[in-house]
Structure 1
Amino acid sequence: MLSTNRRNLLKSGAAVGAALLLSQGSWRNAEAQEDGVLRMAWSGSAQILDPAAQNLLDEFQFTRLVYETLTEMGPDFIPKPLLATEWSASEDGLTWTFKLTPDAKFHSGKPLTSADVVYTYSRLTDPKTALVGTSFFDAIAKVTASDPHSVVFTLKYPYADLLTALAGNYGSIIPDGSTKESLSTKPDGTGPFVMAEFVPGARIVYKANRNYRTPGAIGLSEIRQETIAQGNAQVSSLTAGEVDLINQVSPQLVPSLEGQTDVTLLKTPGAGFHSIYINTSDERFAKSQVREAMRLVMDRPALAQIAYSGLGEPSADNVILSSSPYFDAAVVPPEVNIEKAKTLLAEAGYPSGFEANIYTTAERYGLQQMAVAFAAMVGQIGINLKIVTWTNGDLGTQAYRQKELVTFYWTLQSGADASIAPFYESNGSYNGGKSTAPFFSDPEIDKLILAGKAELDENKRKQIYSSLQKIIADRGYILVPYEIPLVVAVSDRLKNFHAFPRGFHDFKYVTLS
């Protein structure tokens, strides 16, 4: 048997982690103070509260605070115990047994049992369920309870990223019997904070979970996730002491904060990317020549400069970011070639081009700028794009996977499989294969993705994902002109805070001075 328990897994990192946190004070004795209200500024707003149905970063932050998963990912992207205290796997990698903590309770007071885990994953793996998170768990055949605090995962094939997948927000454990209505109106998790108020488009207010199982873990009495759409207003609020954190600083405003006293900028390179999602159910964009022509007119360094003030790094439409160990630097963007692009468009049957809409938002800095610049570039070959600007929430719920061209912001995914499969597997969650939305399908890509999931040898896995990156650069359906860093601005009042590269954060042990 292959086994991992809390003591062995955490031993190597315990000394470093304790040193980092203890240097800020005695965090083990941190008590939530009545005035310990953390206010953070977000440019967008959550729309969906069901953890398995979310698309937006703002929603992922909600889930990170209210719910918990079996395992969790730290900033080092190594899976660690959370609701599962230990686990073991059979030699063939097809059967995994997880022991649950006996101390966890939902906010309603109900103790966590194996029935909750079985219900959560039965819902996620039900082929009739059209949830965004379902394809992340395609490797799971079934989940059963062996006793009230033990669950057994039976897999269809060995899955190298299982522990990583279980740590993702989509695997958040919900109470047995939860309904769509209860998840949308009365979220009931085991997390360190309880949702107290939700005003769509304005704020989410969280109160400390006074019954949280880990003594001293909660040093804040309240967290307020405020929607402040404009970057200048966010900066003004931070410097005036009205908020303590800006989750994502607009790139053009970074210089204005670099000289500020009492403000720290936390920068993580390769933390996300801007993209143009091409709807291949549209007969124009189903033609590979059209997608290739669009790729060939993109001046990627110029787009990075225009849209992200030069902080972005040009990309070859790669959904695996440079911060990933699976990133292949040998896969580079094509050179701009206007004449070849015109020829390809003519071959596709559009010698004079065509008109289309591109949907974007001003609430995620750079997306609208990218859309405008991209429209000018494809205009050179006769593709005339009309810019349609919506709120970020509407972009995620009414445009993404539905309209012909949609700009979108994505954050770093945990693990190689989660970086590619949701976008490019035929039944991928972000591809639309498990919903009524259109999807892209490529048999060779599907075959390689499945091979990558099951391959346990790291060197062989890297070769598989390198091949995938090359294919996607040639014939993918998502244009990724550049990747971007995550820049979080925090007041120096904030102690023990560590920015999570994916852009939503853990606030356990965080205090305000």
Structure 2
Amino acid sequence: MTFSNRRRQLLRAGAAGIAGLSLPLAFEGRVFAAQAGVLSVAIPSNPQTLDPINQPNHDVMAINQLIFENLVGVDARGQRVPQLARAWTISPDKLTYTFDLQRGVNFQNGQPFTSADVKYSFDYVLNPANKAFRRPFWTVIDSVSTPDANTAVIRLKRPYRPLLDYMSKYMGIFPVGSREQHPADYFKQTPIGVGTGPAIFVQSKANDFVELKRNPAYWGKGEPHWDKVVFRIIPEESSRLASLMSDQTQIISAPPAQTFAQIRTSAGLAGDSRPSPTSPLMICLNNRKAPFDDPAFRRAVSLVLDRGKICRDLCYGAVKASSMPFAPESPWYDASSAGSLAFNLDQARAALKSSKYASGASFDLLYVQPAYLIDTSSTALFIQAQLASLGVRVNLRPLDFGQMISQVLVGNHAAALTGFIAPPEPTYLLNALFRPTESLWKASGYESAELLKLIDDSYLVDDPAALKPILAKLQQVLARDCPAVWIGALEVQNLWRSNVKDFQVNAGFSLKLDNVYLAKA
């Protein structure tokens, strides 16, 4: 693993005692030091878009979710909560969702929010001509109707259990006519006045910052508790930590996992973590490209990986080892399926020998650098070494997040080591990766009618007791075909200044800032 000088200094200081560390920090552009009513936070990723229906980045979703809102939200634990809908009912056949909307809500431009805006927003996303990145989540919708200004009715083509969970993250409600009234890049770059959320877009500078201000007419009582929030774009994790310790930012995402446990107890700082049991660290395999067109070879790759060592020694506990897409503590985890792909060097050699690549193979492994969600550079090196023991050559290719996602989305890769963030819905990622009509399918190229039938069957049930055996069968298919290599379930970690109050680590990774405030000195 390659460390910068700054990072070496930081880790040495961590060993000696973080509390006494003082690091000089020079940022390009503005410097947003601590000010009364101004909350500054650091995220790793530069926004490629601020449009909620096209947003692939979970760091940047923290910005989206302050500007735009949805019918349904989730709290920091991943539990559904009312947002623009104050209540909803579901018909017995699970095909009709009726939403009772909040009263007295206005968009930031002063336009009243009504059911017409709900219909307009979903109709816009569903129109193929608009090429919304998140459209595949909503194609199950047959129609949206508006019986009155305070009621929206969504009718489905078939039962679809994930509907409410997906509303909390992959959508945003915008005013009737707003897409036609503004230039094509307005929502992407300067979405002023087109949301109902607690913050209004002010300005941004690429690779530097995004500035939002408090919405003075926000319908949520007493929120937000700051006058301005500034998102600093700081890709390197050691620089994010330095910004926190110098009080130039007050909250940071994705802190260095190596020193997280020690830093969180340092004077003037606080920190916490929360499991995200459906959000995996994984190797996304292109099943249509050699050598991953052979399930025996894919099995060999899975069996040769010592996940315990990766998660314990290289990810420092920020990942919980699992060879299935769920954490071991998840109610959906199938221990038998997971055990069949656990680290076993002899079985890995046997699987390779039975494949059409018994004499060896090579492939490029993409990984994100600077880190996104978690630093995977040392894990990539470890994977390279473990596969070398089988006679398989791995060429490491570090790319920034935007570059890698652009390659993976079109299937221009053989293998990509990355973290995927999922809502609490257990089939979200499996459906996105393995259904040919979905946005991530080219990342896997895997086709299985059996797997899709199990996913569709799962949509028909809400009762956990009925869902569990369906998901167990689904994991048996994954264990047999090995369409991807799961390493473990991610854990969300955040650090903040001790004067930050009411901040909660979000199981969905994006920073939740609407209730946060800075205590007066």
Same fold by TM-score greater than 0.5:
yes
| Structure 1 residues without counterparts, runs of 5 or longer | 1-32
| Structure 2 residues without counterparts, runs of 5 or longer | 1-33
Single out whichever of 153-162 and 395-404 deviates more from structure 2: 395-404
Single out whichever of 360-369 and 219-228 deviates more from structure 2: 360-369
- Identify the match of residue 240 of structure 1 among 246, 258, 265: 246
Task: Write the letter of the residue equivalent to 1:372.
Answer: L
Q: Give, in whole Å, the separation in 2 of the partners of 1:366 and 1:125.
A: 36
Match of 1:15 in 2: none
Task: Trace 1:79-158 onto structure 2 (pairs within 5 A).
Answer: 79-126=80-127, 130-158=131-159
Query: SS in structure 1 opposite 2:343?
Result: coil
Instruction: Give the drift of 1:59.
Output: 2.1
Instruction: Give the drift of 1:86.
Output: 2.2
Query: SS in structure 2 opposite 1:406?
Result: strand
Contact kept in structure 2, 1:455 and 1:461, CA below 8 Å: yes
Contact kept in structure 2, 1:425 and 1:449, CA below 8 Å: no
Question: Is 2:326 aligned against 1:308?
Answer: no
Query: SS in structure 2 opposite 1:170?
Result: coil
Task: Write the letter of the residue equivalent to 2:100.
Answer: K
In the superposition, the TM-score normalised over structure 2's length comes to 0.85
Question: Is 2:225 aligned against 1:224?
Answer: no
Q: Give, in whole Å, the separation in 1 of the partners of 2:487 and 2:92.
A: 42
Task: Trace 1:247-262 onto structure 2 (pairs within 5 A).
Answer: 247-262=253-268
Q: Give, in whole Å, the separation in 2 of the partners of 1:255 and 1:438.
A: 35
Cα-to-partner distance string for 1:21-75 (whole Å, 9 max, x where unaligned): xxxxxxxxxxxx9821111122222222221222222222121111100011113
Q: 1:283 to 1:120 in 2, by over 3 A?
A: farther
Instruction: Give the drift of 1:512.
Output: 0.7
Q: 1:340 to 1:322 in 2, by over 3 A?
A: closer
Instruction: Give the drift of 1:456.
Output: 3.2
Q: CA RMSD in A?
A: 2.4
Q: Give, in whole Å, the separation in 2 of the partners of 1:215 and 1:251.
A: 37
Match of 2:189 in 1: 185
Question: Is 2:411 aligned against 1:407?
Answer: no
Match of 2:383 in 1: 374
Instruction: Give the drift of 1:88.
Output: 2.4
Task: Write the letter of the residue equivalent to 1:387.
Answer: L
Q: Give, in whole Å, the separation in 2 of the partners of 1:381 and 1:132.
A: 39
In the superposition, the TM-score normalised over structure 1's length comes to 0.86
Query: SS in structure 2 opposite 1:471?
Result: helix
Identity %: 22
Single out whichever of 67-76 and 176-185 deviates more from structure 2: 176-185
Instruction: Give the drift of 1:443.
Output: 0.6
Q: Give, in whole Å, the separation in 2 of the partners of 1:142 and 1:217.
A: 33
Match of 1:60 in 2: 61
Match of 1:448 in 2: 454
Query: SS in structure 2 opposite 1:451?
Result: helix
Q: Give, in whole Å, the separation in 2 of the partners of 1:347 and 1:323.
A: 33
Instruction: Give the drift of 1:323.
Output: 5.6
Q: Give, in whole Å, the separation in 2 of the partners of 1:478 and 1:199.
A: 37
Give the number of aligned pairs: 475
Query: SS in structure 1 opposite 2:160?
Result: coil
- Identify the match of residue 284 of structure 2 among 264, 277, 285: 277
Q: Give, in whole Å, the separation in 1 of the partners of 2:35 and 2:251.
A: 19
Match of 2:513 in 1: 507
Contact kept in structure 2, 1:411 and 1:503, CA below 8 Å: yes
Match of 1:292 in 2: 299
Task: Write the letter of the residue equivalent to 1:211.
Answer: A
Q: Give, in whole Å, the separation in 1 of the partners of 2:461 and 2:261.
A: 45
Task: Write the letter of the residue equivalent to 1:183.
Answer: F
Q: 1:329 to 1:343 in 2, by over 3 A?
A: closer
Instruction: Give the drift of 1:309.
Output: 2.1
Question: Is 2:177 aligned against 1:173?
Answer: no
Contact kept in structure 2, 1:367 and 1:409, CA below 8 Å: no
Query: SS in structure 1 opposite 2:385?
Result: helix
Match of 2:356 in 1: 349
Query: SS in structure 2 opposite 1:360?
Result: strand
Instruction: Give the drift of 1:511.
Output: 1.2
Instruction: Give the drift of 1:339.
Output: 4.8
Single out whichever of 66-75 and 197-206 deviates more from structure 2: 197-206
Single out whichever of 68-77 and 123-132 deviates more from structure 2: 123-132
Instruction: Give the drift of 1:82.
Output: 0.9
Match of 1:26 in 2: none
Q: 1:278 to 1:302 in 2, by over 3 A?
A: same
Query: SS in structure 1 opposite 2:260?
Result: helix
Cα-to-partner distance string for 1:65-118 (whole Å, 9 max, x where unaligned): 111000111134332221112222322221122122232222232222223211
Contact kept in structure 1, 2:76 and 2:512, CA below 8 Å: no
Cα-to-partner distance string for 1:189-223 (whole Å, 9 max, x where unaligned): 11111121222322211111112112311111111
Contact kept in structure 2, 1:106 and 1:175, CA below 8 Å: yes
Question: Is 2:491 aligned against 1:485?
Answer: yes
Contact kept in structure 2, 1:270 and 1:322, CA below 8 Å: no
Query: SS in structure 2 opposite 1:269?
Result: strand
